[in-house]
A and B are shown apart, each in its own frame.
Chain A
């Protein structure tokens, strides 16, 4: 039965309206309105769903890893509520401001501490910084193969079969574990937790690791462990210049739009 690890990141809800995301250019920081709720990154949810489907068929154990500071327990515990077995938080002030390198490095260190794993799942990219590097980075640090953009994952004895998205189709690949897999939206949404799961998750406590617990110095994590620095954060100015074509009703507006498009020589 496979030992699976799923990396999940807490992010501000990416589906929130763009107007709620502002930049403080003096501090070079995102300022996110308090109505934007934290959630598990959408791609990380697909990754968790991939692991749950395997557990549903073959059994096995799912360990969820999350790195950050002040991780909201009610948000991350959703992973336990839907069926993960164990939750490990790399949670400390020192982990703040990690870049892709520092994140992958700390997650890889935690995975080594967990020890036994067959498949590591990550989302194809985070839903805040969108870089899409951490999964591949973990695989490089651990020295295992990475298969990206999975839309279907099947586990059988000694072999993992993955359908991965390629331009205009997909390819099926076969790899022996251990393997790191990044998952994309085509895999399908994360299931809803059952009431029983929510109750059980409420009682379970996550394991919390500080940098020293995974054998890292504070100089190797967070801002101090970065390999790339943010020099400027900004929001390009957009002029609102949309010309609204009117009409008594939809049909008339449609006709007027056609006339305007011709007049402006756009068609």
Chain B
């Protein structure tokens, strides 16, 4: 068997540019490549890759494999898998990294089971064991109540990484590197899942992932209305966005696109108001990257006060309008 060497990052594009998660993966991959003294490569799959290959080099890749073909315009798990599986077999990397994204959480287990190995999903930390050269994969378990470090002796070692868990390198356009176009051959007879329709459920205003401030409501909000009134008013004042924990999304008070948590969006704003949120680990998993967490909850025993920097024990119906009113006055003076 050929010796597995190097690190391969599965890269993603948003609007023709390298996705933020991919720059984070490259930052992490560069660190691991340094520890192993091996190469870092990146695979980009799309109908139009443009300058993204050079961008990946500027963010740390030594080699960028591009798979560019009109049939790859839209993500489709089986066709993308054919491309990735072939490159993994051809280049025999030691480590393959994916983002814990819609595509990554789909693709990575397929690749791992095809290779008859195993993977760790949603990793927060990766490092190399200096003696064995094996990848130490640390991820939250039990909804974030604990963390576990996993290690496997099988190659390639595969992991998906949580968004915002790693830092990208500074973009350096003078970094040397090589873009290598690969031949795309899709066996269409193996495509069983046909995408019939794609529906966007847009939420107006600033995207949660980009918002500098988030006002997030939980089960204790009690209904849909405050998400459009008092919480929205505070969010708009701070040029931010309104989010929700899982119960409001499950109860249909808000769109699923607003759900922040382990199985929703992962956010990292400057300031995060957790309003009437108990602070279940599954929710904290989505917001622990916030620089400052402010908790408003009527229950002084709520777990959210263990996560927050500032807190008010009180009814949100009283606290939020007063907070918004006073902030309006302070911010305009």
- Residues of A at the B interface (CB closer than 8 Å) are 12, 14-15, 17-19, 21, 23, 30, 99-101, 104, 124-125, 127-133, 136-137, 140-141, 145-149, 161, 165-176, 179, 184-186, 189, 226-236, 238, 240-245, 247, 249-255, 257-262, 264, 266-267
Contacts and interface: CB of A to CB of B under 8 A. Distances in A.
Q: Top 8 nearest A-B pairs by Cβ distance?
A: A250-B318, A254-B322, A258-B326, A227-B118, A140-B113, A250-B314, A254-B323, A136-B109
Contact of A254 (B119, B152, B300, B318): B318
Given A131-B121, A141-B113, A251-B322, A233 B146 contact: yes
Contacts of A127: 143
A228 B112 CA distance: 11
Given A127-B143, A132-B109, 19 more contacts: A12-B142, A15-B280, A18-B281, A21-B142, A23-B146, A100-B119, A133-B121, A140-B109, A170-B198, A173-B196, A228-B118, A232-B148, A233-B141, A236-B147, A253-B312, A253-B318, A254-B319, A261-B294, A267-B327
Nearest to B76: A173
A55 to B, nearest CB: 23
B120 A245 contact: no
B200 interface: yes
Nearest to A249: B318
A171 B198 contact: yes
B180 to A, nearest CB: 28
Contacts of B38: none
A64 B77 CA distance: 27
Contact of A266 (B249, B271, B313): B271
B117 A227 contact: yes
A251 B263 CA distance: 34
B31 interface: no
Interface stretch (B61-69, B90-98, B302-310): B302-310
Given A167-B102, A171-B199, A227-B152, A18 B327 contact: no
Contact of A104 (B105, B113, B263, B330): B113
A147 B196 CA distance: 13
Interface string B85-125: 00000000000000001100110011011101111111000
Given A166-B198, A261-B327, A136 B295 contact: no
B196 A185 contact: no
Contact of A101 (B118, B281, B313): B118
A263 B115 CA distance: 56
Nearest to A255: B326
B140 A130 contact: yes
A230 B137 CA distance: 9
Contacts of B271: 266-267
A137 B320 CA distance: 47
Contacts of A258: 322-323, 326-327, 330
A166 B262 CA distance: 15
B281 A174 contact: no
11 contacts: A18-B145, A30-B141, A125-B263, A167-B102, A169-B201, A171-B195, A186-B250, A235-B145, A240-B306, A245-B310, A254-B319
Contacts of B136: 231
Nearest to A165: B256
Contact of B303 (A18, A124, A125, A171): A18
Main SS of chain B's interface residues?
mixed
B282 to A, nearest CB: 7
A101 B200 CA distance: 35
Contact of B141 (A15, A129, A185): A129
Contacts of B315: 250
Contact of B295 (A132, A226, A242): A242
B183 interface: no
Given A166-B102, A245-B312, A267-B238, A254 B321 contact: yes
A234 B142 CA distance: 11
Given A18-B280, A171-B198, A185 B246 contact: yes
Interface centre among B106, B116, B201, B246 (most CB of A within 10 A): B106
Nearest to B137: A228
Contacts of A179: 192-193
Contacts of A170: 198-199, 201
B109 A133 contact: yes
A257 B234 CA distance: 13
A117 B19 CA distance: 39
